């Protein structure tokens, strides 16, 4: 995935390498920022139609996820293909993408 390569190059260029555990915590933090934006923009669920997320917050979460994939030596493109195939199989067998758990 070109995006994963871009993130890996950025991390290397700026000396941002870190251990896998930190990458997981960073991802959790960035996804939390997205959730916070939705919570505050909807007045904590009072106005769901007002949900808004800043583009850069989604970008931060994507950066954190791709940096995590790289740190875990996982090809993000292959992981996405695997996930889509899993969801497709579920939909074909049960009519629902959820795991049912």
Q: pLDDT tens digits, residue range 6-23? A: 999 999 999 999 999 999
* pLDDT value at residue 98: 87
100 lies in a domain? no
99 lies in a domain? no
- φ, ψ for residue 46, nearest 5 deg: -70, -30
Structural domains counted in the chain: 1
Q: Encoding tokens for residue 62?
A: 């994507």
* pLDDT value at residue 38: 98
The 8-class DSSP code of residue 97 comes to S
101 lies in a domain? no
Distance CA 44, CA 88 (A): 33
Distance CA 59, CA 95 (A): 32
The CATH number linked to 28 is: 1.10.287.1080
State the pTM of this model.
Answer: 0.90
18 lies in a domain? yes
35 lies in a domain? yes
Write out residues in the chain with pLDDT < 70, as ranges: 1, 101
Domain range spanning residue 70?
2-94
* pLDDT value at residue 101: 64
* pLDDT value at residue 1: 66
């Amino acid at each position: 995935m070109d995006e994963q390569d871009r993130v890996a190059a950025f991390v290397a260029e700026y000396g941002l390498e870190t251990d896998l555990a930190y990458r997981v915590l960073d991802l959790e933090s960035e996804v939390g920022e997205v959730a916070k934006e939705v919570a505050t923009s909807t007045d904590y669920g009072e106005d769901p139609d007002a949900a808004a997320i800043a583009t850069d917050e989604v970008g931060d979460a994507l950066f954190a996820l791709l940096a995590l994939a790289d740190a875990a030596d996982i090809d993000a493109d292959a992981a996405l293909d695997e996930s889509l195939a899993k969801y497709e199989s579920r939909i074909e067998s049960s009519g629902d993408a959820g795991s049912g758990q």
